[in-house]
Amino acid sequence: MNGPLTKVGIVAGLAAALVLPASAGTTAYQIDPRHSSAGFGVTHLMISTVRGEFHGVTGTVVVDDSDVSKSSVNVTIDATTVDTREPDRDKHLKSEAFFDVAKYPAITFQSTKVERNNDGTLKVTGDLTIRGVTKTATLTATLPKAPIKDPWGLQRTAVSASTKINRQDFGVAWNQKLDSGGMVVGDDVNITLDVEMIIPPQSK
């Protein structure tokens, strides 16, 4: 969870997918970082929402087709890829005031429990680590879509997930007080994941 971030290309990702542990009745997926992102939104000046995203999303998802509670999710986000379309703000977010990416280059999520909601979505509870601090977080996620074959013969599917956290819980505490008494940056952060995944050949 807290080890150094390993940056992998798509070839390495596919190689890892081929050796993912998957028992009978399960499907193992490898996240494709080139077609996946983690977005976030936070209140700015108490009047608007600033949005951004991380581009370096990697990891694995294992789905038990007969018992969803035995499924698992393991995601790593490259914190150095934070992008709010404003270079100075991105530099600030990478600094010690926020993510401190020189010391903590990875944000990770490892599921501890997966449940099916009444509406067919999934409730995924797990350990979220940001800036070296681990707290429990719960994501609402879609089931993997019906797989399709891409032009290169790979089987692909996709999922989306969302959650809300308080950044103060993870030591991301920088702020400034406004004359009105409010704060420059809100504490609640809405997070969304849009993930495209490759199905390894043995999991078809």
Domains, in order of start, for the chain: 10-203 (2.40.128.110)
pLDDT tens profile 15-67: 333 333 444 578 899 999 999 999 999 887 777 899 999 999 999 999 888 88
Question: How many helices (H) does the chain have, and how many strands (E)?
Answer: 2, 11
Q: Which two tokens stand for residue 116?
A: 């099916």
H or E stretch at 154 = none
Q: What percent of the chain has pLDDT over 70?
A: 81
Contact between 38 and 193 (Cβ < 8 Å): yes
Mean pLDDT of the region 163-189: 81
pLDDT tens profile 109-147: 999 999 999 998 999 999 999 999 999 999 999 988 888
Three-state SS at 62? strand
How many CA within 13 A on the CB side of residue 32? 14
CA distances from 6 to 14, 60, 136 (A): 15, 14, 23
Sequence letter at residue 155: Q
Contact between 165 and 129 (Cβ < 8 Å): no
Q: What is the pTM of this model?
A: 0.82
CA distances from 123 to 69, 120, 192 (A): 10, 10, 14
Q: Which two tokens stand for residue 47?
A: 């009047």
